[in-house]
Chains A and B, each alone.
Chain A
Amino acid sequence: MQETITIPNKLNSIQIVLDRVKRIHKKDNVTQESIQRIMIVLDELLSNIIKYSFQDNEEHFIEVDYVFNRDAGQVEINIRDDGRGFDLNLYPICEDGLNEGGKGIKILKELSDHIHYFREGNLNNNKIWIQANCLTT
């Protein structure tokens, strides 16, 4: 199963992606806990891109490729944007509980199996793999 979702670089647009992913998994047997983890990872990554990747006030578009591999029990997400880009693997994680910054990246890294960043032409690609466990019948 593969789907591409395109949204403008507005925080409110994240809900479009989250709702679409919920619909994708509505009729399969992926556990609620796995879906919630996917929601959190998408929210962290998309909000990070929308807040920090664009340095002008122009409208930009963000493309989310969502692939659910049922046999592997894994979701593969590739998010493309034309902002300044950042490799999440190079960002330090925040250890201070009371500090407001850096928590999102720590959560994102902990809940993902693997994160890979690469630049292709003028596009940043953030590729993330997350477990999608299915209920056994």
Chain B
Amino acid sequence: MEIKVSSLEKIKIIHILGELNSVTSVEAEQKIIQFIVGGNQNLLIDFSNLQYISSAGLRIFLVANKLIKKNGTGSISFCNLTGTVKEVFEISGFQKIFRCFADIEAAKSQLQ
């Protein structure tokens, strides 16, 4: 699992590469929470290079979302959900509670 960060004006894009399971999610959660605590409240999570996500991975974004809502008015959105990642989002109800975009371009036009 690897995390890369880029910017889209006021939005930070977090690109997650590899797998988000019970083992890799520990490090991913630490990095994302640090990022939020560091003042980044508007996040777009890019899953274009994520192979799969389990409930341990989903938990990261529930924790992160609570932290953002507690701190202010930021938000977390997702893009490039395909295959099993999309399926897990649908099963868990995440697609109903978070904004999900087809790709970064689609997110850009809606979030700015």
Residues of A that sit less than 8 Å from B by CB: 11-12, 14-15, 18, 32-33, 36-37, 39-40, 43-44, 46-47, 95-98, 100, 103-104, 106-107, 110-111
Contacts and interface: CB of A to CB of B under 8 A. Distances in A.
B90 to A, nearest CB: 9
Contact of A107 (B19, B23, B51, B91): B91
B94 A43 contact: no
30 contacts: A11-B22, A11-B23, A14-B22, A15-B24, A18-B19, A18-B23, A32-B83, A33-B83, A36-B52, A36-B84, A39-B19, A39-B21, A39-B51, A39-B52, A40-B84, A43-B21, A46-B22, A47-B54, A47-B56, A97-B94, A97-B96, A97-B97, A100-B59, A100-B62, A103-B55, A103-B58, A106-B91, A106-B92, A107-B88, A107-B91
Given A40-B84, A106-B92, A15 B23 contact: yes
A12 to B, nearest CB: 6
Nearest to A47: B22
B72 interface: no
Nearest to B66: A98
A95 B94 CA distance: 11
A110 B91 contact: yes
Contacts of B97: 97-98
Closest 4 CB pairs of A and B: A97-B93, A104-B55, A36-B52, A47-B22
B36 to A, nearest CB: 17
Nearest to B90: A110
Contacts of A106: 91-92
A68 B21 CA distance: 22
Given A33-B84, A95-B93, 4 more contacts: A18-B23, A36-B84, A43-B22, A47-B56
A43 B62 contact: no
A97 B92 contact: yes
Nearest to B82: A33
